[in-house]
Amino acid sequence: MAAPAANNSPDVSPEPAIGSKPLLLKFNGGEPESHAIMDPFDARLREASVELDMLRGKRCLACLEGEWLLMLDEATGECFLLSLVSLRRIALPPLLKPVEELERCALSSPTPPDCTVMFSMSYCNYLLYCRPGDQEWRELPVETDGTYSFVMGDIVSSRGRMFVSTEMSTFIAINVSMPSSCGVAIGRRVIPHPSIMRWRCEESLVESDGDIFLLQFYIHGIRNSEIVDIDIHLLDTSAYVWNKVESIGDRTIFAGEDSVVLPSASRAGIRPGYIHLLHRHCRDGVRLYTIRVDDRTMSCTLLPGPCDDMCWVVPSSFTNKYEESLAIVSSESDIKINKLTFDEDVEQIAAPPPWSSLPVDMVEEVVARLSFIDYLNVRKVCKRWSSVSKPAQYAKRYPAYPVLMSICSSSAGTFKLFDPIIDKEYTLKDRSLVPCNDYFQMLLFAKHGWVLVLRGEKYMYATNPFTGEMLDLPEIPCLGYQFDGISFSSTPKSPDCIVCAIEKTRHPSQGNRLFVLLWHAGDEHWTSLKIDDYTQFRTAYSNPVFYHDEFYCLGTRGNLGVFNPHDMTWRVLDKPVPLLDGDPMPGDQYCHLLEFRDNLIAIFRPHNEGAMDLYKLDMSQMVWTKVERLDNEVTFVDHWNAVMMSAPQDTCCNRIYISKLGGYNEGGELKSCAFYDLKSRKYYPKPGKLKKQASKQIREYNAVVES
């Protein structure tokens, strides 16, 4: 295996070599000169060519255990395992099945040849397996018990058993520890699937030290998508149930079509508690997401160049010789910890603080010169100060503006706020965030300081993290979490509040229908509606806007649908005419609808760094007019929400702040909020200035919350 000649300059890092650090192996067809290994954690994304005669003209079906390539000569059926570390070659029986029928593959042991090799199959009622030394591959019939038809998708091995997913989102266990002459057998059927949250997710089964993890990556978009959140579940093999976990311990996971886990990452010199995910469903290439598990913050790198396939190469014998830190995520050591609740017991024991003797009017003078978060801290000093309101001069000097919010994976009510104007991050704790031991939580909609939060599939509540107020909503009907947008008409505790969730589908077999979930203040149950609609309208992934006593929904083409919650009617407006050509799918790009000064504003932004487009609805003509500048306004957007307001500072004019952090401080930490400047038609900070790397580095937040 050869690589290009190395540069001997002391300032240049060595060329990537297998076994030196976690790498990616890129396959571009069957010619060896098109294969390369790449260091995705190097600022220059260095590559080195792979020159092995054993790879010439062969197709790589999988990279197993981070080391073993499963190679196939499609012309002859020749099949073998090849170690990238020792270059050991282990022959397997000829593989004559069509490659298109083969799905995922796993080894029963990380040390061939003492192992079973097993494939899940695409829409077939059998699994394919063999052991080194066998004369042919065997089929294991998978007879259905009525709960599934096919066994397909992910497959992983643990302690003599293979775990395979079915097309009905359940799992089966297969005993592969029997003698070779006995073959293999199904040991357990219908292992239930854990609940998922809103919309689509991609899943990955991984094994580490006998433990089976299910990683669920939540996606915004279909044909062109981004990762927005993650769930992690651990299989209890004694009861065959999945349990949510908030930590992966000392592990680091390299996820993709063939995943690898370092069980003792710190011992190998790798920062533990991270997941590095290869995400392929992007029009601009393959993205490498680095996700910090404890707070679910993430960074993203766009990997260069086309390739037919790529896989992780992380041998089991790996140790980090260069003692580098691979996680591109900022340190939280300087983050200020705040608590929004009082501890009555401590207050009774501790001596009264001298601050409580200050006159309230003097405190209000101080508050008038503080940021909003510092104002919250002032209210926590003592009970007397907790009633201090924002005086008029405070509102005039420091008008409230939205902040970015993200719930930490801890179930103890911890969340993060990021002030996009002053580029400051806070970690806070609030009892109004409901502890959730079974599922992670997702932020859905925010307005008037209130946030709608989804817990798993069935539960939703509204919370105001600034005041500590909370309101539980009724249990959601079956599959009620599958909606394209949700919003409320007024603050959740007001007597006229209406919560409305909407999805409009177009499907040849399932019909054309509008699905609506409605809750009025005081209702004990949700109202569920199904309305036939044979128009070409399809709802975008965008929260509806309560406007003139109705909910306005943005379509994927830029047209509008309107739901009246009082007479329960739905109509698709003839005007404005669609802005976009073709028939976009939900999530092909970010689509936002907002109301500002009694005007409806539509925003379209691509997943890559293409230009954003803003339009204002001319109600007199019912036409969209393009907005070229926001001279006195500023806009804040996340995945589903959008807020426009008068700019609190002159420097904010013409900006659209997005729910990502970009740019680095002197400590190498991502600290500045990313935004799009309408005047220059560019994103800032510029991608080329991110840590001297042309790839895109971001940290994601979940929601824009109006403070």
- Is 466 inside a domain boundary? no
Residue 576 has a pLDDT of: 95
Residue 683 has a pLDDT of: 86
Beta bridge partners of 502: 485, 516
Identify which of 35-39, 209-213, 581-585, 685-689 has the greatest average pLDDT: 209-213
Cα angle 607-612-615, degrees, rounded to a multiple of 5: 130
- Tell me the per-residue pLDDT of 582-631, one tens digit each, with 9 for 90 and over: 878 777 788 999 999 999 999 998 877 788 999 999 999 999 999 998 88
| Conformation bin of residue 269: beta by default, left when phi > 0, alpha when psi is -120 to 50 | left
Which structural domain, as residue segments, surrounds residue 386? 356-398
Q: Is the dihedral of CA 426, 431, 433, 435 positive or negative?
A: positive
Return the SS3 of 100. helix
Domain count across the chain? 2
- Tell me the per-residue pLDDT of 531-559, one tens digit each, with 9 for 90 and over: 888 888 888 889 999 999 999 999 999 99
Of 313 and 386, more confident: 313
Q: Is the dihedral of CA 188, 190, 192, 197 positive or negative?
A: positive
Half-sphere exposure of 109 (CA within 13 A, CB side): 12
Q: Which of 150, 175, 191 is the last residue of a domain?
A: 191
The pair of structure tokens assigned to 304 is 């260069």
Residue 685 has a pLDDT of: 76
Asked whether the bond before 10 is cis by omega within 30 degrees of 0, the reply is no
Residue 375 has a pLDDT of: 64
Q: Which of 372, 398, 424 is the last residue of a domain?
A: 398
- Find the range with the poorest average confidence among 297-311, 332-346, 431-445, 538-552: 332-346
* Model confidence band, residue 333 (pLDDT cutoffs 50, 70, 90): very low
Residue 328 has a pLDDT of: 33
CB 214 within 8 A of CB 205: yes
* DSSP letters for 12-55: SPPPP-TTSS-EEEEE-SS-GGG-EEE-TTSTT--EEE---GGG
Of 17 and 120, more confident: 120
Q: What is the mean pLDDT of residues 401-423?
A: 71
Residue 181 has a pLDDT of: 55
- Is 105 inside a domain boundary? yes
Cα angle 358-360-363, degrees, rounded to a multiple of 5: 75
The CATH number assigned to the domain holding 181 equals 2.40.128
- Tell me the per-residue pLDDT of 226-282, one tens digit each, with 9 for 90 and over: 887 788 999 998 888 888 888 999 999 999 988 999 998 888 888 899 999 998 877
Residue 319 has a pLDDT of: 54
Cα angle 81-85-90, degrees, rounded to a multiple of 5: 20
Q: How many whole angstroms separate alpha carbon 390 and alpha carbon 368?
A: 7
Q: What is the mean pLDDT of residues 195-206?
A: 74
Least Cα distance to 635 among 589, 596, 577 occurs for 596
- Find the range with the poorest average confidence among 222-226, 332-336, 477-481: 332-336
Residue 504 has a pLDDT of: 82
* Model confidence band, residue 151 (pLDDT cutoffs 50, 70, 90): confident
- Is 125 inside a domain boundary? yes
In whole angstroms, how far apart are CA 303 and each of 37, 290, 371?
13, 13, 39
Q: Where are the alpha helices (DSSP H) in 209-359?
A: 344-349
- Tell me the per-residue pLDDT of 315-325, one tens digit each, with 9 for 90 and over: 877 654 444 44
Q: Which of 342, 375, 398 is the last residue of a domain?
A: 398
- Is 210 inside a domain boundary? no
Instruction: Please say if the pLDDT value at position 129 is more than 90.
Output: yes
Q: How many whole angstroms separate alpha carbon 128 and alpha carbon 142?
A: 11
Beta bridge partners of 636: 643, 657
The pair of structure tokens assigned to 108 is 């029963």
* Model confidence band, residue 211 (pLDDT cutoffs 50, 70, 90): very high
- Is 361 inside a domain boundary? yes
Q: What is the dihedral of CA 637, 641, 642, 645, to 10 degrees?
A: -100
Residue 336 has a pLDDT of: 32
Q: Is the dihedral of CA 334, 664, 703, 213 positive or negative?
A: negative
Return the SS3 of 349. helix
Q: Per residue, what are the HEC states of 408-424? A: CCCCCCEEEEEECCCCE
Beta bridge partners of 662: 672
Residue 674 has a pLDDT of: 83
Q: What is the mean pLDDT of the chain?
A: 78
The residue behind tokens 């469903």 is 281
Cα angle 410-416-418, degrees, rounded to a multiple of 5: 165
Q: What is the dihedral of CA 330, 336, 340, 346, to 10 degrees?
A: 130
Return the SS3 of 556. coil
Q: How many whole angstroms separate alpha carbon 255 and alpha carbon 264?
A: 16
Q: Is the dihedral of CA 292, 296, 301, 306 positive or negative?
A: positive
Q: Which residues touch 182 (CB under 8 Å, ≥6 apart)?
A: none
Instruction: Please say if the pLDDT value at position 116 is more than 60.
Output: yes
Of 326 and 569, more confident: 569
Q: How many whole angstroms separate alpha carbon 157 and alpha carbon 208?
A: 10
- Is 366 inside a domain boundary? yes
Q: pTM of the predicted model, to two decimals?
A: 0.74
- Tell me the per-residue pLDDT of 70-84, one tens digit each, with 9 for 90 and over: 999 999 999 999 999
Q: Which residues touch 306 (CB under 8 Å, ≥6 apart)?
A: 28, 285
- Is 177 inside a domain boundary? yes
Half-sphere exposure of 542 (CA within 13 A, CB side): 34
Residue 237 has a pLDDT of: 87
Q: How many whole angstroms separate alpha carbon 156 and alpha carbon 107?
A: 8
Q: What is the mean pLDDT of residues 330-355?
A: 39
Q: How many whole angstroms separate alpha carbon 306 and alpha carbon 304?
A: 7
Q: What is the mean pLDDT of residues 565-580?
A: 93
CB 616 within 8 A of CB 599: yes
Residue 220 has a pLDDT of: 77
* Model confidence band, residue 150 (pLDDT cutoffs 50, 70, 90): confident
Instruction: Please say if the pLDDT value at position 379 is more than 80.
Output: no
Least Cα distance to 259 among 200, 299, 213 occurs for 213
Q: Report residue 671: phi and psi, to 5°.
A: -135, -15
CB 700 within 8 A of CB 297: yes
Beta bridge partners of 404: 418, 704
Of 360 and 468, more confident: 468
User: How many other C-beta atoms are found inside a 10 Å radius of the C-beta of residue 334?
Assistant: 11
- Find the range with the poorest average confidence among 141-155, 589-603, 686-700: 686-700
